[in-house]
Amino acid sequence: MAPSNTSTTDGGSTPARSSGPDDTSTSLPGKVSGPETHPVDELLSPVKLVSTGLQHVAAMYAGVVAPPLIVGAAVGLPPGELALLISASLFTAGLATLLQTLGIWRIGARLPFVNGVSFAGVAPMIAIAKEQGPKNALPVIFGAVIVAGVLCLLAAPYFCRLIRFFPPVVQGTVITLIGLSLLPVAVNWARGGSPSAPGYGSMRAIGLAAITLVAVVLCNRLLRGFWQQLSLLVGLAFGTLIAFPLGLGDFGAVKDAKIFALPSPFHFGAPMFDAAAIISLCIVMLVSMTESTADMLALGRIVEREADEATLAAGLRADGLATALGPVFNGFAASAFAQNIGLVALTRIRSRFVVAAGGGILILLGLFPVLGSVVSVVPQPVLGGAGIVLFGTVAASGIRTLAEAGMESGSNTILVSVSLGVGIVPIAVPTFYDAFPEAVRTLMHSGISAGSVTAVLLNLLFHHVGAARRSSNGEAPGPTVPTVTPS
């Protein structure tokens, strides 16, 4: 069983929660780290902040630019407008990440928690684009995103109470599923990212991914200290250099990029509010809230500052506020990026200011498209090789949590096996739920969401329904998670 939220220590000497979303004494960027400072609140040197923050940007960059790229293409935007939409997504992802890591009042988890454009809304937004046509598509999408963000902001203090249904056995299952769900993404990157990409699925692409994977592993094994923590960045740089002799590198994006582009509010038109679009994206927002809750719980365990109800509520408020404000700057819904949780586990750098530095870099990439294009030079196979390490690390963290969850219990074994099975279905067969209603597809198409819901329901069945009766018969009612009064 995991330690209590209020008693977990780091190395036996530092408190688990030196600050929180409701603590007015929380660390600020200018705070000097002291002997009692939790690693989450540690302020590193500028060089370390920038270099390790850049690692987080490299890990998430493809995930941030993919949704606007896909939606923009579906709407039929010309290249210049499409580049603007991508820059807007980078800019709003940076703002959302700063909101999560630094926090304002009771908004922001104040954990090394990365926010970016939610991929869960891509399919519904494409459907909206087909329904509305090129002229009204983006205004209708932005209107629905604003409403979905307000829903998340208002529902956060109630939704966060789900923590009581996330004991270690559920947390471990969900964390494992996060890693397993992301591994196919890394495999697709290793092949080239898209069937239209040059050399997609070729031995050159897969070989480049393998070279990057080996480079990251060797750097992690052979380097020491700070350079070991930069093993992912070193591996990405090495893989990118190897890509050019193999014919898989391209500097064309840098040559064509603008130097500076200031976000223009409602560039694509004032938001329009369509009932069907709003309902569709509100369902997506609920799914994103479920995934964000699971991600915050996973991250809390990795950094040894477990997320309680107040932290979850503050994190979900940040998701909601960033989502509601995103369309003003032509951005989409904001959600957690699970791949960056793997980076925290891999590097063992737990400072939230590192991720805040990454958020600042994202803002610069959004304001200076030419900088963003430099990051985009990293080929997809290189990201794929590094992604296998990142996402596998997340799955390994989940397995470690399960090892602490009391798997000798038969009910826990059934809970884990069924939840993992249900969660892997859409990973193994992405078209499995295509014949189901859209609301079901939205929920079950994500292995993380499907497995999370299954694990929570089975936990209710085994450890909550009839728990009082079983307790009176001398049986343990099942694992619980300490809670605090939500803010």
Instruction: Determine the pLDDT at residue 312.
Output: 92
Which segment, 50-54, 127-131, 256-260, 464-468, is predicted with the most confidence on average?
Answer: 50-54
Number of domains in the chain: 1
Average pLDDT, integer, range 189-211: 88
Instruction: Determine the pLDDT at residue 22.
Output: 45
Lowest-confidence range among 68-77, 151-160, 233-242, 429-438? 68-77
Range of the domain at 100: 42-469
Distance CA 484, CA 266 (A): 40
**Is the pLDDT reported for residue 300 higher than 50?**
yes
Q: How confident is the model at residue 446 (pLDDT cuts 50, 70, 90)?
A: confident
Cα 313 from chain centroid (whole Å): 17
Q: How confident is the model at residue 34 (pLDDT cuts 50, 70, 90)?
A: low
What number of CA atoms fall less than 13 Å from residue 192's CA on the CB side? 15
Q: How confident is the model at residue 449 (pLDDT cuts 50, 70, 90)?
A: confident
Question: Looking at the domain assignment, is residue 389 inside a domain?
Answer: yes
Mean pLDDT of the chain: 80
First-to-last C-alpha distance (Å) of the chain: 26
Question: Looking at the domain assignment, is residue 77 inside a domain?
Answer: yes
**Is the pLDDT reported for residue 21 higher than 60?**
no
Instruction: Determine the pLDDT at residue 375.
Output: 64
Question: Looking at the domain assignment, is residue 486 inside a domain?
Answer: no
Question: Looking at the domain assignment, is residue 200 inside a domain?
Answer: yes
Which segment, 2-6, 39-43, 281-285, 339-343, is predicted with the most confidence on average?
Answer: 39-43
Lowest-confidence range among 39-43, 213-217, 400-404? 400-404
Instruction: Determine the pLDDT at residue 444.
Output: 82
Question: Looking at the domain assignment, is residue 348 inside a domain?
Answer: yes
Instruction: Determine the pLDDT at residue 372.
Output: 65
Burial 17-39 (b: 16+ CB within 10 A, else e): bbbbbbeeebbeeeeeeeeebbb
Residue 223: C-alpha distances to residues 26, 54, 90, 215, 396 (Å): 34, 19, 32, 11, 22
Q: How confident is the model at residue 253 (pLDDT cuts 50, 70, 90)?
A: low
**Is the pLDDT reported for residue 328 higher than 90?**
yes
Encode pLDDT of 379-418 as tens digits. 889 888 988 887 787 788 788 888 877 777 788 899 999 9
**Is the pLDDT reported for residue 125 higher than 90?**
no
The residues facing 10 across adjacent strands are 14
Encode pLDDT of 160-170 as tens digits. 877 777 788 88
**Is the pLDDT reported for residue 72 higher than 50?**
yes
Instruction: Determine the pLDDT at residue 215.
Output: 93
Q: How many CB atoms lie within 10 A of CB 245?
A: 8
Distance CA 356, CA 352 (A): 6
